[in-house]
Amino acid sequence: SAKDKGTGKEQKMTITSSTKLNDKDIDKMMKSAKEHEEEDKRRKEEVEIRNNADSTIYMTEKTLSELGDKLPAEQKTKIEAALKSAKDAMNGTDTTKMKQEAEKLQKAVQEAGASIYQQAQDRGASEQKAQNGKDENVVEGEFKKEDK
């Protein structure tokens, strides 16, 4: 109910169900749910596998567009082949194959990521050596202790 304090008008609303389920209908629905429980679980698993594979494909495409020029040609080719296999698996209905191809794709991307970080680390180490080589003639400062 609602009451407008300014005008003093009050309105009430009652919500009632237009159809009531009897016990027989409820039991029938419960039985149907139990009968389809395994099928529902299987279907849920299929959807999750498909979604995970789709997400992996999307992230790989994004990564390739952003970092593709930093990858060695061999690794880029490997990722592209795994990406194609994963996409082909997504066009089918075999969820086991989808899962396997998505895992292969993830592994290829992880290896490439490790390679990129290794290259960066190697560059950093060589730059550090170059810096160290330039600073060989550094003279340490001298100081005298004065008593005042």
**Bigger pLDDT: 22 or 140?**
22
CA proximity to 64, closest of 52, 76, 55, 82: 76
Q: Answer whether 64's CB lies under 8 Å from 79's CB.
A: yes
Q: Answer whether 56's CB lies under 8 Å from 102's CB.
A: yes
Domains in the chain (CATH in brackets) are: 31-131 (1.20.1270.10)
What tens digit of pLDDT does each residue of 38-80 get?
999 999 999 999 999 999 999 988 888 887 777 778 888 888 8
State the average pLDDT for the chain. 82
Of 16-20, 41-45, 103-107, 114-118, the least confident:
16-20
